[in-house]
Amino acid sequence: MALTSAQVAKESLVAEFGVGEDLPFNFFGWLGGDPVLIVQLDRGRMGVSLEGRFELCAGACQLMRSVFGCDSLTMVAEGFFSSCPEITRSMDMRLAFENDLVYVKECITVAHVELNDSGFPVGTLVTCPYEYLGGSGVVWDEMRGFVRGIGQVLRDVPFPAMMAAALRLGVVGSGEDDVVRALEVLEDRGFNVQQFL
């Protein structure tokens, strides 16, 4: 669901604004397999540094767990995919892409994190590389998926590790006042929120 909706959004952005329009970060919060809310960083805040966006997103994921009670989180973002990771392992993927390294493509990545019964984070990673078709279209490559412990598949990836840390928090409040305040905080920090009732 998350990947398909991101692909549709990407195609719409490219059709409307042209090549180079990136999707904002999206976080889906789940409880017992049902969607609870979607939190999307607004386009203005996507322009801040990666470190700044990381801090904003960490706070959002903490609220998704501690107030809304989410027991799993899914992040949708754009990034880079290497078809030869043994060659590109030590490279900056953005620079490799900008230098037209044939092994590196842009992609949409969906990272899903939940805690198993022992409280150990389990990560699922799905990525779908793409290329632009002319100035207004997107050609999707084959989707690739990986399921392992977060320390193996998602090694050195700070966002899924941050999501796992947020899921380890306790639920501290989910009353109406807590929810209203959390929604205000998310909005003040530059997030658009869609809550499912």
Q: What is the DSSP string of 46-107?
A: GGS-HHHHHHHHHHHHHHHHHTT--SEEEEEEEEEEES-HHHHTTS-HHHHHHTT-TTEEEE
- What pLDDT score does 76 carry? 94
Q: What residues does each domain of the chain span?
A: 2-188
CB 83 within 8 A of CB 96: no
- What pLDDT score does 135 carry? 67
pLDDT < 50 positions in the chain:
150, 152-155
- What pLDDT score does 155 carry? 44
- What pLDDT score does 148 carry? 59
- What pLDDT score does 31 carry? 94
Residue 47: what residue type?
Answer: G
φ/ψ (deg, to 5) at 104: -115, 130
Predicted confidence (pLDDT) per residue in 85-134, tens digit: 777 778 888 888 888 777 788 899 999 999 888 888 888 888 899 888 87
What is the distance between the alpha carbons of residues 179 and 37, in angstroms, rounded to a whole number?
12
Residue whose pair of structure tokens reads 């966002």 in the numeric block? 159
**Of 37, 148, 160, 69, the residue nearest 110 (C-alpha):** 160
